[in-house]
Amino acid sequence: MAVEQFFFVYFASANYLQIKLMERKLKDYAVLMLKGMGMGAADVVPGVSGGTIAFIVGIYDELINSIKSINLESLKLFFTGKWGAFWKKINGNFLFFLLAGIGISVFSLAKLITWLLVDHPILVWSFFFGLVLASTWFVSKDIKEWKSWKTWVAFVIGVVVAFYITVATPAETPSNLLFIFLCGAIAICAMILPGISGSFILVLLGKYFFIMDAVKTLDVVVMGVFAAGACIGITSFSRILSYALAHFRNITLAVLTGFMLGSLNKVWPWKEVVETFVDSHGEVKPLIEHNVLPNAYIPEAVVLMIVGFFLVYFLEKLSAKTSVR
């Protein structure tokens, strides 16, 4: 019975992707690119996950299944010259427009976001606090079995793990290309998990500002090695995540909801810097921060929290009309 369920889910997912591919029109791809831009903007901010945005806008399952389809079978099609079949197999149009949106957002917003985080941190964190809080609520609505103790255990585990990550001390790490490759493989896995920020994982690995500098200065070598690690990491991890969503959906969603709730500790707007470090350009950057009670820009922060919350509400309602999860 378990084997039959597995093949049913597998072929249903494949048919669903093909139907989605045929149904989409030019305006749908434009919207898909905008969704990618939203994911890219979230991925730039430490503490916010692009996976959260993907879930809100209704493309999360399709994203995971599309990434999972990049395997030996599809690569064989590519290397034997069957590029049309390869493109269809991996849901290429979906991935192309989504990745284009993410790329546009990362390269265009990297400087802006890093500047805002330095000069207007309370306002930026307030907006994302409201966004993550609303995301937690909307993802939790997809859980069908809250009465089960397994769901609550999974939820608590997610909260504890995410909270621990937010209070962990960033490490001093090497900048050789092998470590950059590993950073790409690890961070990309976090980026597709709602509630776990790939950018914050880079902070913990001591490489957030290093990678941001590479993006801003177009350091092709560093970006290429990081991207190679990301490709290996995401194609491997997507299989695990796809299996978990297909066979243990409620428990998996409970863990992801816990991740998002636990990550609120990181995006709390009011912080006190307790330790700094000097980066490779001689600039002083915060290393360890502690949350404090609201002490500045309180009215503005509350307004931006509400804006972030209702932006998620709007995106979720819009997604419900245009796509099926």
Structure tokens at 6: 């597995």
Q: Mean of the pLDDT values across residues 219-227?
A: 89
Confidence check: pLDDT of 156 > 90 = yes
CA–CA gap between residue 171 and residue 203 (Å, rounded): 8
| pLDDT at res. 265 | 83
Provide the residue type at 224 as one letter: G
> 258 with 154: CB under 8 angstroms?
yes
Taking alpha carbons only, the member of 315, 39, 70, 13 closest to residue 188 is 39
Residues 289, 186, 276: CA angle, nearest 5 degrees: 20
Share of the chain above pLDDT 70, in %: 83
Q: How many CB atoms lie within 10 A of CB 292?
A: 11
Confidence check: pLDDT of 82 > 50 = yes
| pLDDT at res. 68 | 85
CA–CA gap between residue 51 and residue 63 (Å, rounded): 9
Collapsed DSSP state (helix, strand, coil) of residue 1: coil
> Which of 28-42, 121-135, 147-161, 269-283 shows the highest mean pLDDT?
147-161
Confidence check: pLDDT of 13 > 50 = no
| pLDDT at res. 16 | 47
Residues 180, 257, 38: CA angle, nearest 5 degrees: 55
CA–CA gap between residue 294 and residue 56 (Å, rounded): 28
| pLDDT at res. 318 | 67
CA–CA gap between residue 168 and residue 162 (Å, rounded): 10
| pLDDT at res. 9 | 42
Confidence check: pLDDT of 5 > 60 = no
Q: What is the DSSP string of 218-251?
A: T-HHHHHHHHHHHHHHHHHHHHHHHHHHHHSHHH
Structure tokens at 107: 């390269």
Confidence check: pLDDT of 185 > 60 = yes
Pairing of β 271-278 and β 284-291: antiparallel
Burial 84-117 (b: 16+ CB within 10 A, else e): eebbbbbbbbbbbbbebbbebbbeebbeebbebe
Q: What is the average pLDDT score of the chain?
A: 79
Q: Mean of the pLDDT values across residues 25-41?
A: 84
| pLDDT at res. 18 | 47
| pLDDT at res. 195 | 65
